[in-house]
Amino acid sequence: MTRKPNTVAIGAVVLLWTSISLAQGGSGPAGQDPANQRMAVQQQQRVQALQQQIDELKSQQDSLIEQLQAIHASAVKEKATETAGRVEKLIASQQETFRTRLAQLQQQQQRMTQGMRQRADRPQRTGRRGRSAPDVELKSFDGRTYKLSDLEGRIVVLEWFNMECPFSLYHYNTKPTMVELANKYKDKEVVWLAVNSTNHTKVEANVTFAKEHKLPYPIIDDRSGQVGRAFGARTTPHIFVIDKDGVVVYQGAIDNAPMGKVEANVANVNYVDQAISQLLAGQPVTTPTTPPYGCSVKYPNP
């Protein structure tokens, strides 16, 4: 006797592949704006693009769940108990993935909208120092990807880092300056990213360093030197603080104490801590630039 193929099970497998594709975040079109457009226009377009992603995600989710529920009903009718149970689990899993992805998109959209509203309400300053941060894509050694424009609405700290440089290592091995500072502000909408532009550094070494030092932030892979050159990073460490509007409001040294040594009768000042606290208090950064100290960034030859 020839057994008919279980159409319910086949349909479930096909839809499982669809659900995996959706769960892995096919994120609709994103705004690719010309560099010379005004920041307000860019942000508005990004907000609109996010809304389109949200609408598409909801539409795909509704369609998928409707089809899965139809398959489940057919499985129950055909008394395909095992298939029905697996479809139930798939529906529950997909619903959870959908809620997580939707929340991420909505939070990102909310931050952008709030940033636009705050800029509209803020009185215009004259003589404002700083430049817009280049909108670069950042890929970490552990496989994560960031885009600076997606982080607008939060304060971003970029720390140029080299595990072979004693000036960098001092702030990890002797005194955990960077980790302590990142942890201090991690719940206050501050994103810390270490950037390694050393051309000969290895992926495994960076991943191991991050684990051994329990870094609460990723190390960005910039072995090409493109990000470092875009910002003008010269030393390790060299710190850039970007405000919620995407403007570089501080660049320079982490503090005034290279290798822990301060000039006589001079108080130790952590310039980055000072800049972040002033931004969070709604105050201008009083020290926008300082000379960075450390080893030169080991860029690849042009």
**Apex CA 176: angle with CA 251 and CA 158, to 5°?**
25
Bridge-based pairing state of the strands 155-160 and 190-196? parallel
Of all residues in the chain, what percent carry a pLDDT higher than 90? 53
3-state secondary structure 158-212: EEECCCCCHHHHHHHHHCCHHHHHHHHHCCCCEEEEEEECCCCCCHHHHHHHHHH
**Which has more pLDDT, 36 or 245?**
245
User: CB 19: neighbour CB atoms within 10 A?
Assistant: 23
Which run of H or of E encompasses 216?
none
273: nearest Cα among 261, 285, 291: 285
Round to whole Å and give the CA distance between 193 and 216.
Answer: 9
If DSSP codes are grouped into helix, strand and coil, which group holds residue 302?
A: coil
**Which has more pLDDT, 125 or 59?**
59
Question: pLDDT tens for residues 9-35?
Answer: 445 444 544 444 444 444 443 343 344
Contact 222, 188 (CB under 8 A): no
User: Which of the four pLDDT bands, split at 50, 70 and 90, describes residue 223?
Assistant: very high
How far is residue 41 from each of residues 5, 35, 121, 171, measured CA to CA in Å?
55, 11, 16, 40
Question: pLDDT tens for residues 85-105?
Answer: 888 888 888 888 888 888 877
Of all residues in the chain, what percent carry a pLDDT higher than 70? 78
95-104, 118-127, 252-261, range with the lowest pLDDT: 118-127
Question: pLDDT tens for residues 155-192?
Answer: 999 999 999 999 999 999 999 999 999 999 999 999 99
The pLDDT value recorded for residue 233 is: 97
Contact 163, 173 (CB under 8 A): no
The pLDDT value recorded for residue 43 is: 62
Contact 53, 101 (CB under 8 A): no
Which run of H or of E encompasses 245?
none
Round to whole Å and give the CA distance between 106 and 125.
Answer: 31
- Torsion over CA: 54, 144, 181, 162 (sign): negative
